[in-house]
A and B are shown apart, each in its own frame.
Chain A
Amino acid sequence: MRISLTCLRTAVIAAALLATASACSPIEPWVKPYEREHLADPIMALDRNPISSTYLDHVFETREGARGATGAVGGGCGCN
């Protein structure tokens, strides 16, 4: 399956603009802050041990041609 790079990059830019634009219009959060008990569980953290995940990423990236997009961390418990 070949998707052109230009097409993929345009999609990403469009998504970024959409996310920015959508921030202005009110959308009711469908998971309320008081419903985040599972998401707040430490095992649900996207990167539980940064020291270890950074090291493993380094091991793979030095031996492979691919790199990047190894994960962003976000979400959280809605506290504060």
Chain B
Amino acid sequence: MRNRIAALAAILTLALPAWAGVADAQAPGFTLQSVDGRTVSLAQFKGDVVMINFWASWCGPCRQEMPLLDSIYKQYKDMGFTLLGVNVEPDPHSANAWLQKTPVSYPILYDPKSQVSQLYQVQAMPTTVIVDRQGVVRYVHNGYLPGDENQYMNSIRTLIVQ
């Protein structure tokens, strides 16, 4: 049922003009399997500031930013903040191998059919989306350059106190 809603949401979202984007709209809901076998959905984190990071093991900047995201997660997780790493690869094999070498403490979810990537209109790799406590998308960042983690932290600090 959730998958059908997600698929319908995806179709409706794709019907919008490409430039509409997900910013300032209600964050599309989704349910995905996590690396440790649990079922995780966005709705579980209503009331938290949620950062969703779309990544792949074949993407250099993605791998570069993940340890920094891990320290951001550890710093803010007790203040009503959570970080979800969404892996976009159809085959989880390479992602698992990389996570073995470079583990992170925040939840990693698999999106093998790219349903959530399409829902969030991912335009670049990596893409980082920050959702506020009311479930509205407030910040979308395409790509990663060293120093961007400061922008993430500024946004998180602003949204955490709201």
Contacts and interface: CB of A to CB of B under 8 A. Distances in A.
Direct A–B contact in the complex, CB atoms closer than 8 angstroms: yes
Interface of A: 26, 28, 32-37, 40-41, 77-80
Given A37-B94, A80-B144, 15 more contacts: A32-B117, A32-B122, A33-B122, A33-B127, A34-B114, A34-B122, A34-B125, A35-B88, A35-B114, A37-B56, A37-B58, A41-B58, A77-B59, A78-B125, A79-B124
Chain B CB within 10 Å, residue with most, of A41, A77, A80: A80
> A interface, by DSSP: helix, strand, loop or mixed?
loop
B103 interface: no
B61 A79 contact: yes
Nearest to B91: A37
A60 B34 CA distance: 54
B135 interface: no
Contacts of A79: 59-62, 124-126, 143-144
Interface of B: 17-19, 54, 56, 58-62, 88-90, 94, 114, 117-118, 122-127, 143-145
Contacts of B125: 33-34, 36, 77-79
Given A78-B124, A79-B143, A37 B90 contact: yes
Nearest to B17: A26
